[in-house]
Structure 1
Amino acid sequence: MKKLAIFDFDGTLFDSVDDVVKSFNEALTVYGFPTVTREEYIGSLGGNIDEIVSLVLKDNATPENLESFKNTYLKIYYGSKKENSLPFPGAHDILKELESRGVLLAINSNRFTDSIESFVEKFLEDVDFLSIEGHDFDIPTKPSPAGVNRIIEKAGVSVEDAIFIGDSSTDIETAKNAGVDCLIVKWGYGNEKDFENDYVLEAIDDVSEILNYF
């Protein structure tokens, strides 16, 4: 049985993409760039914000546009109400059940750390996370194992005792690079190719299935 559960954030614990797409499209409109659909944006996910912006802007992704657009988007997003960003059904309950079993909990995401912390404080205040490793300019982002390695070191457990729970190919590669087992959830932003990846222990349909590994 595992001792440490490391969760991805967007698409795993929280359904947050609609508010992000809304803010992205507001920023794209400011610059007269083509807007994106929900599906097009999801297809750009995986890297940090710089990589996502580059994929969304496509031919408009000059260094000047990237920096300017990113700042505009972040101003719009951080100033928005984000009313559609909520924990997936059962996410809170499963975290509390894992906590009651003595499992250590952590988050590793390419979202900015302060943004993750704001959602945790609002919706998961009673959950005790050992560590929240978000996007930090001083630390490589997923699929680098840097965040997972820091969490494992802080937890004081072996890689065999840890499991990464995510929804995408980036999460699979992160787990693989860190040498930890990986579960993929089907309710997020991944696809069939991710669900069938040979490295994944299991692609699960229901959040309660996470408990099988603890």
Structure 2
Amino acid sequence: MTAKKLCIFDFDGTLFDSVEDVILCFNRTLKEYGFPTLTRDEYIPCLGGNIDDIVSKVLGKNSTPQNVEIIKNVYLDYYNSSHKERTVPFTNSRELLENLQDNDILLAINSNRLNYSLNEFVDRYYPDIDFVLIEGHNVDYPSKPDPWGVNNIINKANVSLDEAIYIGDSITDIKTAQNAGIDCVVVKWGYGDEVAFNHEYPVKVIDKFSQLCEFLGINYF
């Protein structure tokens, strides 16, 4: 395998444990408009797409363009104004990024979370990490699993496809890497399922950060 020079990370479920704040704000919104609320287990399969995709799945049989727009906007108002105290990095994620950076690995984030939200958490928790690019969902461009964001990152980093690797937790991340033509590592601590863990495309499935360092040939911190 070609030595990797660039690690592209998914955000939710890979670097950050974020679902609890999402559930609280969605259920508050759904209840306000008389729609059924969901449990954590019901929310997890809805994740992975962009905000419109997620809202449509959350609404289920009540999903119409009008309802999606209403629930999306109210949810975002609640979410953006909340303290998001339950959204925190997974243990040792910052140390992992620092270790990779110290070993001259370029770092980037590719997510379907909106850009301003990504930057809020990165600025708060990863102030010393120099990301090549943070590529979130942009309404003017296609979202994951389209490789648009990954392609931008690879061009900015000026590396070849075989020098880049995508690290994520879901089938959406696998398809994103596959569509971009780069290798993929799947993590088991996020919101993925057995479909992702048993998919034939990833080169590695890991359940702790140290295994990523081992895979990349880097000493664990």
Query: Normalised by the size of structure 1, how large is the TM-score?
Result: 0.99
Question: Any idea what the Cα deviations from partners look like across 1:114-173, whole Å, max 9, x if unmatched?
Answer: 100000000111111110000101110000000000000000000000000000000000
1:82 maps to which of 46, 59, 84: 84
Instruction: For 1:85, give the aligned amino acid.
Output: T
Instruction: In structure 1, list runs of 5 or more residues that go unmatched.
Output: none
Alpha-carbon distance in structure 1 between the residues aligned to 2:109 and 2:211: 19
Which residue of the partner structure matches residue 129 of structure 2? Answer: 127
Alpha-carbon distance in structure 2 between the residues aligned to 1:98 and 1:43: 31
Question: Any idea what the Cα deviations from partners look like across 1:162-198, whole Å, max 9, x if unmatched?
Answer: 0000000000000000000000000000012211111
Alpha-carbon distance in structure 1 between the residues aligned to 2:142 and 2:192: 22
SS of match in other structure, 1:96? helix
Question: Any idea what the Cα deviations from partners look like across 1:92-117, whole Å, max 9, x if unmatched?
Answer: 00000000000100000000011000
Comparing 107-116 with 56-65, greater Cα deviation is found at 56-65
SS of match in other structure, 2:141? coil
Question: Any idea what the Cα deviations from partners look like across 1:22-46, whole Å, max 9, x if unmatched?
Answer: 0000000110100001111111112
Which residue of the partner structure matches residue 116 of structure 1? Answer: 118
Alpha-carbon distance in structure 2 between the residues aligned to 1:132 and 1:79: 22
2:153 maps to which of 151, 154, 157: 151
Aligned-residue offset at 1:209: 1.1
SS of match in other structure, 2:46? coil
SS of match in other structure, 1:43? helix
Aligned-residue offset at 1:63: 1.3
Displaced runs of 4+ in structure 1, greater than 2 A? none
Q: How many equivalent residue pairs? A: 214
Instruction: For 1:174, give the aligned amino acid.
Output: T
1:197 maps to which of 189, 196, 199: 199
Q: Percent identity?
A: 55
Alpha-carbon distance in structure 1 between the residues aligned to 2:37 and 2:171: 25
Which residue of the partner structure matches residue 39 of structure 1? Answer: 41
Alpha-carbon distance in structure 2 between the residues aligned to 1:136 and 1:166: 19
Instruction: In structure 2, list runs of 5 or more residues that go unmatched.
Output: none
Alpha-carbon distance in structure 2 between the residues aligned to 1:151 and 1:166: 15
SS of match in other structure, 1:164? strand
Instruction: Give the root-mean-square deviation of aligned CA atoms.
Output: 0.7
Which residue of the partner structure matches residue 66 of structure 1? Answer: 68
Which residue of the partner structure matches residue 216 of structure 2? Answer: 213
